[in-house]
């Protein structure tokens, strides 16, 4: 921006106001005394009490910001971080710049002198925190079996060196820990692959009947070993939708796998594919429902069940070979397909997981 605002002609005057209005961040222009000359709509949204010709201090009392404005008069841009606690806590970066070099006459009256922009960092902070938590969780989950493997190795190198019985027992336990690490890495890779493609809508047309049939066939041996009864109900006509077959295979396998794993001995698992009118009356949906008559999930856990590494009981999940990522993968895949995932459960009665997608006719 050029410095001659004070003596600006109408055309130039219009320019900076138009630019201020077009800025995506909340921004306010102040005169040298700190009074509001102009502000844009995002600023009005962030600070509804803002008024022209009033000092900034009327609607934003923050000593750090006043200091930054004073310091910015020297010509160096200044950045300060503001914490707003109400209505919800938000962290905002405020950047103050002096607008060019102006002579004393030019800055008299209510001429633009400072531009203050506000950027809401709350969302960015939340994402950074999530990433940090995720890495901490993933490392912790990997470190546990790794520590146990090292313990066994040390024992086999030392005290159990010549004990053939202990060696066989330890090697079997070590194989179990190595498998657990492999499962975790496979799940982490699946999750990252789905996330990478999160914004690419699948193009191929697949049939939910075919995919559900295939998954049930592949899981039959596991069901037989757990004495689970798998039942399949297919849609009579067709259940076609746009989807990535491998990913939908994973959704149904994870759900059926969980139903068998957590359903208990002799559980009945029902997989049903159906079509239903879409809400709002536009077109149809195809749905796959996986329900079991197992012990169910306490209500308070349902809202967080699809979060990465969230498990109502970490030890129960671990002892059954769980990683805590299965439902997070399901949720991400369904979201990538612009589908919906509904979870309901009743203690003592069982759980139902339903994924639905827009049908292709």
Residues near ligand ADP, by CB under 6 A: 254, 258-259, 262, 292, 294, 297, 305, 311-313, 317, 322-328, 351
Contacts of residue 306, defined as CB under 8 A and 6 or more positions apart, other chains included, come to: 327, 328, 330, 331, 341, 343
Nearest approach in angstroms of CB 181 to ligand ADP is 14
Between 40 and 261, whose beta carbon lies closer to ligand ADP?
A: 261
Coil, strand, or helix at residue 76? coil
Q: Which residues of 206-215 are buried (b: 16+ CB within 10 A; e: fewer)?
A: bbbbbbbeeb
Shortest CB 140 distance to ligand ADP, Å: 15
| Choice between 145 and 324, CB closer to ligand ADP | 324
Minimal distance in Å, beta carbon 125 to ligand ADP?
26
Nearer to ligand ADP, 69 or 297 (CB): 297
Question: Which tokens belong to 268?
Answer: 């009945």
List the structure tokens of 44. Answer: 């009005």
CB closer to ligand ADP, 254 vs 356? 254
Residues in the chain: 361
3 or 303: CB nearest ligand ADP: 303
| DSSP-H helix ranges across 51-121 | 63-72
Least separation, in Å, of the C-beta of 138 and ligand ADP?
Answer: 13
Two tokens at 95? 């950047």
Name the minimum Å distance from CB 254 to ligand ADP: 6
Backbone phi, then psi, for 113, in 5-degree steps?
-135, -40
Q: Where are the beta strands (DSSP E) in 99-255?
A: 114-120, 205-207, 229-233, 240-242
Provide the minimum distance between the beta carbon of 215 and ligand ADP in the complex, in angstroms, as a whole number.
15
Judged by beta carbon, residue 151 or residue 312, the one nearer ligand ADP is 312
Long-range contacts of 225-230 (CB under 8 A, 24+ apart): 226/260, 226/261, 226/265, 226/267, 227/265, 227/266, 228/259, 228/260, 228/263, 228/266, 228/267, 228/268, 228/269, 229/266, 229/267, 229/268, 229/269, 230/256, 230/260, 230/269, 230/271
CB of 292 to ligand ADP, least distance (A): 5
In degrees rounded to 5, what are phi and psi of residue 358? -70, 130
**Shortest Cβ 99–ligand ADP spacing (Å):** 54
Which CB, 139 or 346, lies closer to ligand ADP?
346
Q: Which residue is nearest to ligand ADP (CB)?
A: 326
Provide the 3-class DSSP secondary structure of residue 191.
helix
| Of 6 and 350, CB closest to ligand ADP | 350
């Amino acid at each position: 921006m050029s410095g001659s605002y004070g003596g600006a002609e109408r055309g130039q005057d219009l320019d900076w106001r138009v630019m201020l209005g077009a800025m995506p961040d909340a921004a306010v222009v102040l005169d040298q005394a700190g009074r509001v000359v102009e502000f844009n709509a995002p600023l009005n949204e962030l600070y509804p009490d803002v008024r022209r010709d009033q000092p900034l201090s009327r609607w934003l009392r923050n000593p750090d910001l006043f200091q930054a404005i004073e310091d910015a008069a020297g010509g160096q841009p200044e950045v300060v971080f503001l914490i707003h606690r109400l209505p919800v806590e938000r962290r905002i970066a405020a950047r103050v710049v002096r607008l060019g070099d102006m002579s004393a006459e030019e800055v008299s009256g209510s001429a633009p002198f400072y531009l203050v922009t506000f950027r809401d960092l709350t969302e960015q902070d939340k994402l950074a925190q999530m990433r940090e938590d995720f890495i901490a969780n993933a490392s912790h989950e990997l470190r546990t079996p790794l520590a146990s493997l090292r313990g066994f190795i040390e024992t086999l190198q030392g005290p159990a060196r010549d004990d053939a019985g202990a060696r066989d027992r330890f090697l079997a336990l070590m194989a179990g820990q190595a498998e657990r690490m492999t499962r975790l890495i496979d799940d982490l890779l699946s999750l990252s692959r789905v996330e990478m493609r999160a914004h690419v809508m699948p193009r191929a047309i697949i049939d939910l009947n075919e995919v559900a049939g295939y998954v049930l066939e592949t899981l039959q041996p596991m069901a037989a070993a757990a004495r689970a009864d798998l039942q399949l109900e297919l849609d009579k006509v067709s259940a076609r939708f746009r989807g990535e077959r491998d990913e939908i295979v994973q959704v149904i396998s994870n759900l059926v796998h969980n139903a068998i794993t957590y359903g208990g001995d002799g559980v009945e698992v029902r997989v049903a594919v159906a079509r239903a009118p879409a809400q709002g009356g536009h077109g149809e949906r195809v749905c796959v429902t996986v329900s079991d008559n197992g012990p169910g999930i306490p209500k308070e856990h349902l809202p967080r069940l699809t979060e990465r590494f969230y498990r109502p009981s970490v030890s129960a999940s671990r002892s059954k070979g769980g990683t805590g990522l299965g439902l997070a993968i399901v949720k991400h895949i369904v979201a990538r397909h612009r589908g919906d995932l509904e979870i309901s459960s009743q203690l003592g009665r069982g759980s139902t997981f339903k994924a639905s997608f827009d049908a292709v006719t």
